[in-house]
Structure 1
Amino acid sequence: MDLSPFQNLIDELKSKKMIVWKNKKKSEIYQIDSALIDDAEGRLKRFAPYFQEVFPETKKQDGKVESVLQSVPVMQQKLGVKGKLYVKRDDALPISGSIKARGGIHEVLYAAEKIAMEHRFVSLEDNYKIFTTKPIQKLLSQYTIVVGSTGNLGLSIGIMSATLGFKVNVHMSHDAKEWKKQLLRKIGVTVVEHSGDFSLAVDAGRKEALKDPNSYFIDDEHSKQLFAGYAVAGRRLKQQLQEENIAVDANHPLYVYIPCGVGGGPGGVTYGLKESFGENVHGYFVEPTESPCMLLGMATGLHDKIAVQDIGLSNLTIADGLAVGRPSSFVGQQMEPLLDGIMTISDERLSQYVRTLYQMEKIIVEPSAVAGFIGLEQLKDAADNPNATHIVWATGGSMVPKDEQQKYILG
């Protein structure tokens, strides 16, 4: 492949500097498939009675799997932000404690509903508490959910699938944390460990699922149902901002900074944000300096035809959820007209932000989840706008064991 037109950018990436890449393909002309989001939103509502029954922590939100939007005034002062600064607390989402509780759980529900309807065990008019009954659980136990993951997607899918009665096989890449593997095994999930990275784990899961007609493969690289589940976040955020009386319009722009691995989570969220806020929202992904796969794929236009290893980067980072060498082509192409840009962040800065967020706000998250704070440093003009609202999307952390959390905040 001829990479000479992109040599300056590649040299910057190879230098491991923290950079901002602006997306020149962003356009005011784009299409959003609202029906895809409607479908996911409807499914999540139908399963709300089921969630209340099996996950008591969802009762206070009537079965909605949603996170709070938290103001962080001390952090805001520390970073010198003149507008409003919030953290979207997906690190504390019910059920699996990460952003994957949006897309991953939604796709498991999609599979369960599809199978139950095909066997006439349920209809759209039913109360979905019916999914707690033995006949449906026995039906679903004949099927296997398969996924490849660096950790958090495997957790969300493992917990949800096992609760519904599915068999579950999670293929974990070498960077997946040991405690995540142990938690999955404890609830009866089969964890298959690989010495390779995320792409290898996904490929192994895909091949396994092809061998069994009763297997359902959740494809983090290409799935529309994962993407749709994440996209519902845009509508819910719009409601939360309205409840806080926060205007989002041409004079009050919204900036959102989201950590990026393969791209499904941040891509789906950005898609939903564009549906809700149009040109008044500015979306940025953030990737580790050793794993800028989406930046590399989108900047070159090669998407999944290029990996960070091809330009000499290691794909080794403390941000295990972002340790992805090859991006989703599906997401990259969806983001071409929508995304403002992508930033990179060093492991050292990730560690600093984890400690600072704890010191300033007593919030403990995984290193991946603080990546968005670099946006406030990199976009000084935006940070200096007193009319702007900034949201750092925290993507995981509440399920991290206490001893691991201590390691994060002590450095």
Structure 2
Amino acid sequence: MLRAVAVPTPLIHSRALSEAIGGPVYLKCENLQRTGSFKIRGAYVRIARLSEAERAGGVVAASAGNHAQGVALAASMLGCKATVFMPAGAPLPKVAATRAYGAEVRFPGPTVDECLVAAEEHAAETGAVFIHPFDHPDVVAGQGTIGLEILEQLPDVATVVGAVGGGGLMSGVASALRAARKAEGGPQVKVVGAQAKRAAAFPASLAAGRPTTVTVQPTMADGISVGRPGDLTYDLVAELVDAVVTVTEESLSQALLFCLERAKQVVEPAGAAGVAALMEHSYAFRTPVVALLSGGNIDPLLLSKVLRHGLADAGRYLVVRCRLKDRPGALVTLLSELAELGVNVLDVMHERVLARLHVGEVEVLMHLETQGTGHSEDAIARLRAEGYDITVS
């Protein structure tokens, strides 16, 4: 069903991750999938399995981005009208893409929860079929085709690690891998899910033994920011997924930076969660490992912020305040010192009128680029030794 729809995405070897893990690591590039994420797989299978009468009544979905685009494209390919409720303030590229795929986009409020309520009300009023982003057997089956592709591309795969939000992706992948390996009589593949620590519903749910709602904190990984697992996906994850680990915002930003610099892949924060798990955890990942890059739909403005966050966490980007005597040449001398230390000055703001400054003092706010944590620490220590009053933000 999907062979003419979904692109068989490449599996690329990562030398840097392989060295860090101590065995072969590969990246499954679903960021290169149609619509920029794996979501087209599940959305297409779900809509394709509707009856003609159901498709004639249209479909409706609620999403902040990737599911919206998957439903919009799948519906247009199957000749079905799609209405998508998106939160007000959703990234403009995602809104534009959803409309370009043929869906009508509506904005009922600022949160995904409000969009879900509006979508269900629309379904009840119009008879349109609600396409759940993860908690449906057809959606899970569609996402599971990634697992079958991995087995074709890397028959001896031992571990697959990828992002978990509501659980549709990893429950589908785990189901497909378990069934395929059982049929061929081979060793089972270990499956590990990675959730953003600020939106980690699965660890709490697995500990409680049932789907549990947690309070979601703001996270850059908005694509997996889900407060409660699905009923179906909870059961599948509890049965088939070997572990669900959490990753910090710092790990997510460093993983995204790694994907861009070392793998040459543009990935959204949620899409880099599997890589973040490999970088952050000493979990016993049996090799060969496949990390899923589940999506690449990132707003350019967010990308610039996340990259800066990742550079700062890696010690390669600093925001520094320095007090100087307000006299000619003081700033030039400071900048010369930085140049001699091999520090690149990205931005400078010169402040004279601040309540905390004494008369005859100025404060310089600088954005600096360094070669890493050791270089940063050495440069700051050298400046302080020269008598500069330095504060690192």
Same fold (TM over 0.5): yes
Give the counterpart of 2:26 among 75, 82, 86: 86
Q: Secondary structure at the match of 2:35?
A: coil
Aligned amino acid, residue 382 of structure 1:
A
Q: Secondary structure at the match of 1:86?
A: strand
Give the counterpart of 1:292 among 173, 177, 200: 200
> Structure 1 residues 178, 202: CA separation in 2 closer, same or farther (over 3 Å shift)?
same
Aligned amino acid, residue 104 of structure 2:
T
The unaligned stretches of length 5 or more in structure 1 are 1-42, 52-63, 120-139, 249-253
Aligned amino acid, residue 389 of structure 1:
P
> Structure 1 residues 260, 198: CA separation in 2 closer, same or farther (over 3 Å shift)?
farther
Following the alignment from structure 2 to structure 1, what is the Cα–Cα distance between the partners of residues 60 and 264?
36
Aligned amino acid, residue 361 of structure 1:
A
Determine the structure 1 residue equivalent to 2:45.
106
Determine the structure 1 residue equivalent to 2:242.
340
Report the alpha carbon displacement of residue 299 of structure 1 after superposing the two structures with TM.
Answer: 1.9
Aligned amino acid, residue 292 of structure 2:
W
- Greater fraction strand: 2
Following the alignment from structure 1 to structure 2, what is the Cα–Cα distance between the partners of residues 99 and 395?
6
Determine the structure 1 residue equivalent to 2:344.
none
Q: Matches of residues 204-353 of structure 1 in structure 2 within 5 Å?
A: 204-213=118-127, 215-242=128-155, 247-248=156-157, 254-277=158-181, 280-303=188-211, 306-309=212-215, 314-353=216-255
Report the alpha carbon displacement of residue 212 of structure 1 after superposing the two structures with TM.
Answer: 2.0
Report the alpha carbon displacement of residue 354 of structure 1 after superposing the two structures with TM.
Answer: 0.8
> Structure 1 residues 206, 377: CA separation in 2 closer, same or farther (over 3 Å shift)?
same
Query: Residue deviations 1:6-32, cap 9 Å, x none?
Result: xxxxxxxxxxxxxxxxxxxxxxxxxxx
Report the alpha carbon displacement of residue 321 of structure 1 after superposing the two structures with TM.
Answer: 0.5
* Identity between Structure 1 and Structure 2 (%): 24
Greater relative contact order: 1 or 2 (C-alpha under 8 angstroms, separation 6 or more)? 1
Q: Secondary structure at the match of 1:380?
A: coil
Following the alignment from structure 2 to structure 1, what is the Cα–Cα distance between the partners of residues 265 and 219?
22
Following the alignment from structure 2 to structure 1, what is the Cα–Cα distance between the partners of residues 223 and 301?
19
The unaligned stretches of length 5 or more in structure 2 are 310-393
Following the alignment from structure 2 to structure 1, what is the Cα–Cα distance between the partners of residues 265 and 230?
31
Determine the structure 2 residue equivalent to 1:157.
71
Query: Residue deviations 1:320-370, cap 9 Å, x none?
Result: 101111111111012222111111112222111111222222222101111
Q: Secondary structure at the match of 2:2?
A: helix
Report the alpha carbon displacement of residue 205 of structure 1 after superposing the two structures with TM.
Answer: 1.3
Aligned amino acid, residue 356 of structure 1:
F
Determine the structure 2 residue equivalent to 1:70.
12
Q: Secondary structure at the match of 1:108?
A: helix
Query: Residue deviations 1:287-325, cap 9 Å, x none?
Result: 11111012222221230xx3112xxxx432111101111
* Aligned positions, number: 305
Aligned amino acid, residue 18 of structure 2:
Q
Q: Secondary structure at the match of 1:257?
A: strand
Aligned amino acid, residue 12 of structure 2:
Q
Q: Secondary structure at the match of 1:195?
A: coil
Q: Which has the larger radius of gyration?
A: 2
Report the alpha carbon displacement of residue 89 of structure 1 after superposing the two structures with TM.
Answer: 0.5
Query: Residue deviations 1:58-90, cap 9 Å, x none?
Result: xxxxxx53211111113433xx12111011111
Aligned amino acid, residue 364 of structure 1:
V
Query: Residue deviations 1:179-217, cap 9 Å, x none?
Result: 21122234442222243543442233122112223x121
Determine the structure 2 residue equivalent to 1:27.
none
Give the counterpart of 1:392 among 291, 315, 321: 291
Following the alignment from structure 1 to structure 2, what is the Cα–Cα distance between the partners of residues 315 and 204?
23
> Structure 1 residues 161, 149: CA separation in 2 closer, same or farther (over 3 Å shift)?
same
Aligned amino acid, residue 229 of structure 2:
P
Following the alignment from structure 1 to structure 2, what is the Cα–Cα distance between the partners of residues 187 and 382?
42
TM-score by length of 2: 0.71
Answer yes or no: is the 8 Å Cα contact 2:181–2:188 preserved in 1.
yes
- Greater fraction helix: 1
Answer yes or no: is the 8 Å Cα contact 2:190–2:242 preserved in 1.
yes
Q: Secondary structure at the match of 1:147?
A: strand
Report the alpha carbon displacement of residue 172 of structure 1 after superposing the two structures with TM.
Answer: 2.0
Determine the structure 2 residue equivalent to 1:44.
2
Answer yes or no: is the 8 Å Cα contact 2:247–2:277 preserved in 1.
no
Aligned amino acid, residue 301 of structure 1:
G
